[in-house]
Amino acid sequence: MDIIIGSDHAGFDLKEEIRKFLSEKGYYSVKDIGTFSHVPVDYPIIAREVAKNITEKKFTRGILLCGSGIGMSITANRFRNVRAALCHNLYTVELSRKHNDANILVLGGRVLGSSLALEMVDLFLHTDFEGGRHQRRLEEIDT
């Protein structure tokens, strides 16, 4: 599975942990678009890059991180066919995939601990979309 990941400075530390976690798994191709330090960067720049790549189907899934996750999710969801889900626990991650076919997981670097965040990423990547009535609802979003 091809994954694109990005963060602003507030999500940098957690992004690095997630990137390392995914690399150690060995069966993911991960493109890290930054940021690469704690130097302040505007989150919309990163969110747009990830969302654009998802829209263009260059990557299967994306992960975005900022302080709260709110700014990243707002920005990413402006792109057609992007379903960026801001999640705070395992239940919201599971439903984001099963019911909403989320293709970008958004996390708050100042909100979540790394252990929970890694569990959330793993669940996001291993949960399938249920389709059925949920597919119809997704189609209604784009009309």
Question: Which residues carry out catalysis?
Answer: 99
Up-side HSE of residue 121: CA atoms within 13 Å toward CB? Answer: 29
Classify 34 in phi/psi space as left (phi over 0), alpha (psi -120 to 50) or beta.
Answer: left
Q: Are 6 and 33 in contact (CB under 8 A)?
A: yes
Which CA distances in Å does 75 have to 11, 27, 42, 126? 15, 29, 11, 25
Two tokens, residue 62: 């994306």
| Cβ-Cβ contacts under 8 Å for 44 (sequence gap 6 or more) | 71, 75
